């Protein structure tokens, strides 16, 4: 994400309203998670992120398969600001370099207590 001038940022995967910002870079975080940075240019989207009404994220992905259904390629097409993301923990964590949220993992899969 962020290549070739940036990946488009939408609201709720709605292409009809156009892009509201741009993902400028992405990298793998310390726990294997996808991290991104970007700019939101649309004033109403900036307001929604700052007031906390829209701080979750959803990744728009295309899957390309051959005729047998075998996956050949997956591409990240866009990143959307959402009121409620499908996956827990997909959130805006910083605004203008200031931490506004974090995620924590308190248990691990398969580990007995």
DSSP readout, 72-108? EEEEEEEEEEESS-SSTT-B--EETTEE-------S-
pLDDT for the residue 40: 94
30 domain residue, yes or no:
yes
* The pLDDT of residue 112 is above 60: no
Residue 61 is part of which domain span? Answer: 7-98
* CA gap 50, 7 in Å, rounded: 21
* CA gap 12, 56 in Å, rounded: 10
108 domain residue, yes or no:
no
pLDDT for the residue 113: 44
Q: Which of 7-11, 16-20, 68-72, 109-113 is predicted with the least confidence, judged by mean pLDDT?
A: 109-113
36 domain residue, yes or no:
yes
Q: For residue range 44-65, list pLDDT tens digits in order.
A: 999 999 999 999 999 888 899 9
93 domain residue, yes or no:
yes
Average pLDDT, the chain: 85
The tally of domains found in the chain comes to: 1
């Amino acid at each position: 994400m962020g290549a070739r001038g940036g990946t488009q940022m939408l609201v709720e995967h709605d292409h009809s309203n156009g892009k509201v910002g741009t993902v400028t870079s992405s990298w793998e975080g310390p726990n294997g998670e996808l991290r991104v940075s970007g700019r939101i240019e649309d004033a109403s989207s900036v307001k929604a992120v700052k007031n906390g009404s829209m701080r979750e994220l959803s990744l728009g992905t295309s899957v390309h398969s051959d005729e047998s259904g075998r996956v050949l390629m997956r591409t990240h097409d866009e990143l959307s600001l959402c009121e409620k993301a499908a996956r827990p923990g997909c959130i805006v964590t910083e605004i203008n370099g200031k931490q506004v949220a974090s995620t924590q993992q308190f248990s691990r899969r398969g580990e007995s207590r």
